[in-house]
Structure 1
Amino acid sequence: MYDLLLVSPMMFWLILTIVLAVFELLTMGLSTIWFALGSLAAFLAAIIGASLPLQIVIFILVSVFMLLLVRPLSVKLLKGKIVKTNIDALIGRKVTVSKEVDNIKETGGVVLDGTTWNVRSSDDDSIIPVGETVVIVKVEGNKLIVEKA
C-alpha cells in the first residue's frame, strides 16, 4: 500500500509535465512551459522521496521563479526577432514633404515608395514646408503622423 502512495504522486507529476509540455508545443505561446518545468522539478523531488507537501512547494516555487525571472528575458529575446511588415515598417522612415503640412488647414502630403500619403504633424502648432525632411512616428488610418527630422 505504501508503494502505491509513492508511485501515485510521481505518476501525477510525470503526466502533468507531459500534458503541459505538449500543450506548450501546440500553442508556442510561452504560457505553460513554466508550469511544465515546475511539475518536472516536483517529479524529480518525488523520485528522490520528498513528501507530497514538499513536492507541491517545489512545484509552486519553480513555476513562479521561472515565470517571473525567465519569462521576461525570453520574451525580450523573441520580440527582437519580429520583422516589421506593412504599415509597421513605415514607422521611423524619413520622407520629404511634397505638400505643406498644416494641421489647421488639414493639408500635407509626402510621396513614399511611389505612393502619395496624407500627412499630419504630431505638433498641431507647427507648419512643415515643402522639401523638409520628416520622420514617420505613427500611422492613423490613411494618414502618416510625422515630426521634423
Structure 2
Amino acid sequence: MYDWLITNAWVVWLALFLLLAIIEMISLDLYFIMLGVGALGGVTVALLGGEFWLQVVVFSVVSLLMIMLVRPIALRHLRKDPEGLRTNMDRLIGEDALVLEPTSRMNGRAKIGGETWSARTDDEVALQPGTYGSVIRIDGATAYITLRTTMPELD
C-alpha cells in the first residue's frame, strides 16, 4: 500500500486539493485555496516523476508564496467598495426627513425613507410637524436633522 501511495502520489495531492477547495468554500478565508494551489504544484511534480520529498518542498514553497504574495492582493480586491457606494445608515445622510412630532435637541420623531426614526436637532430651533428636514448624521437609532430650506422633489 505504501509503495502504491508513493508511485501514485499525484492522486493523494489531487485529493488534498479537492479537500482544501471544499474547506475554502466553507470558510472563505483564502488560506485553503492558496494551500490548494500548492497541492496542485505537488500534483505537477508527481506527474513529472519527481521524488516525494521534492513534491513536499514544492507544495510548501508554492503555498507560502501564494499566502504571502497573492492572498493580500486578492483580499484588497475583494474588500474594495465601489466608489460612492454608501451602505446601512450612511446612505441616510442627506436624505429628506418629514417631521412627525415637534423635534428639538431633546426629542422628536421623523419619517426618513419610509421608516419612523427618533429625531433630534443640533440647532436651538425646534422643527414643527409637517416641515421637512435633512439628515446630517446618525447616532445609534437617532437621526439628527436640520431644517431644509427648499422643499424636496416629489417622484
* TM interval, short-chain normalised: 0.5 to 0.7
Of structures 1 and 2, the larger Rg is shown by: 2
TM-fit CA distance, 1:81: 7.1
Report the counterpart of residue 60 of structure 2 in structure 1.
Answer: 60
| 1:47-75 deviation line (CA, Å, top 9, x unaligned) | 22333333222212222222233223333
TM-fit CA distance, 1:146: 7.7
Secondary structure of 1:107's aligned partner: coil
Amino acid aligned to 1:135 = I
Report the counterpart of residue 41 of structure 2 in structure 1.
Answer: 41
CA distance in 2, matches of 1:107, 1:91: 22
Alignment length (residue pairs): 128
Residue 107 to residue 80, structure 1, CA distance change in 2 (3 Å): same
CA distance in 2, matches of 1:119, 1:69: 48
TM-score (norm 1): 0.60
Report the counterpart of residue 17 of structure 2 in structure 1.
Answer: 17
TM-fit CA distance, 1:37: 0.7
On the 8 A contact 1:95/1:110 being kept in 2, the answer is: no
Share of identical aligned residues, percent? 25
Q: Which has the higher strand share?
A: 1
Question: What stretches of structure 2 of length at least 5 have no aligned partner?
Answer: 147-155
Secondary structure of 2:49's aligned partner: coil
Q: CA RMSD in A?
A: 3.5
TM-fit CA distance, 1:16: 0.8
TM-score (norm 2): 0.58
On the 8 A contact 1:117/1:143 being kept in 2, the answer is: yes
Amino acid aligned to 1:75 = L
Report the counterpart of residue 71 of structure 2 in structure 1.
Answer: 71
Amino acid aligned to 1:143 = T
Question: What stretches of structure 1 of length at least 5 have no aligned partner?
Answer: 83-87, 122-126
Secondary structure of 2:111's aligned partner: strand
TM-fit CA distance, 1:31: 4.5
